A and B are shown apart, each in its own frame.
Chain A
Amino acid sequence: GQNIDQPTEMTATEGAIVQINCTYQTSGFNGLFWYQQHAGEAPTFLSYNVLDGLEEKGRFSSFLSRSKGYSYLLLKELQMKDSASYLCAVFGNNRLAFGKGNQVVVIP
């Protein structure tokens, strides 16, 4: 089975940096995904990690440590449009299992 934990909510100021953590326990691992979900909308893909280390993609970076069952998503130069829920998801055994998501609220 899979167990994925994320903190529930955080508030940050426009222009700041925020780190969202995710820990997981899984019986099968083929990669970890981060998704962004705005209220009432479907999730959209942000990043994918399958090897340990940091993947950088513009203002967003994602880190993975497989031995620790840990990942984080780093959001830099926060913008108001970044206010959303950020979902950590582990792919294994032919399926993607999601955490409950972390709600990020960006304030001016």
Chain B
Amino acid sequence: SQTIHQWPATLVQPVGSPLSLECTVEGTSNPNLYWYRQAAGRGLQLLFYSVGIGQISSEVPQNLSASRPQDRQFILSSKKLLLSDSGFYLCASSPGAGENYGYTFGSGTRLTVV
């Protein structure tokens, strides 16, 4: 079964500072990887997904970016954080398109931009 490691668990950053959140996956090869954000009291919003190394699809325009330097590594970055970037960031993995069982989520990073 898959295991997702996501860190840090909590982060407080000033406006304008850079961001780097990392996610690594164990127990599967060539997974689809996802970054979601959940603002307080709101649903999960898909930010980026990747079907392979170097392949990134962006769902919403914003000041965030994602990279996949290795098969089981997914990184979420920003050069300059905004207050609106605060939220609960979740990395998720699925074994691949067409697999009929649920995603595995990391434990999440709670980001507060001050």
Q: Which residues of A contact B (CB under 8 A)?
A: 30-31, 33, 35, 40-46, 48, 50, 87, 89, 94-101
Q: Does A50 contact B100, Cβ atoms closer than 8 Å?
A: yes
Q: Which size bracket describes the interface of B in this complex?
A: 20 to 34
B interface residue numbers (CB < 8 A to A): 32, 34, 36, 42-44, 46, 49, 51, 57, 59, 88, 90, 92, 94, 97-98, 100-108, 110
Given the complex of chains A and B, what is the CA–CA distance between A41 and B9 in angstroms?
10
Closest 8 CB pairs of A and B: A45-B102, A100-B43, A42-B105, A98-B44, A42-B108, A98-B43, A33-B102, A95-B49
Known: A42-B90, A42-B105, A96-B92. A101 touches B98 (CB 8 A): no
**Chain A: CB-nearest residue to B46:** A95
Least distance between A38 CB and chain B CB atoms (Å): 12
Rounded to whole angstroms, the CA-CA distance of A35 and B32 in the bound complex is 19
Inside 8 A of B44's CB, which chain A residues have their CB? 43, 87, 89, 98
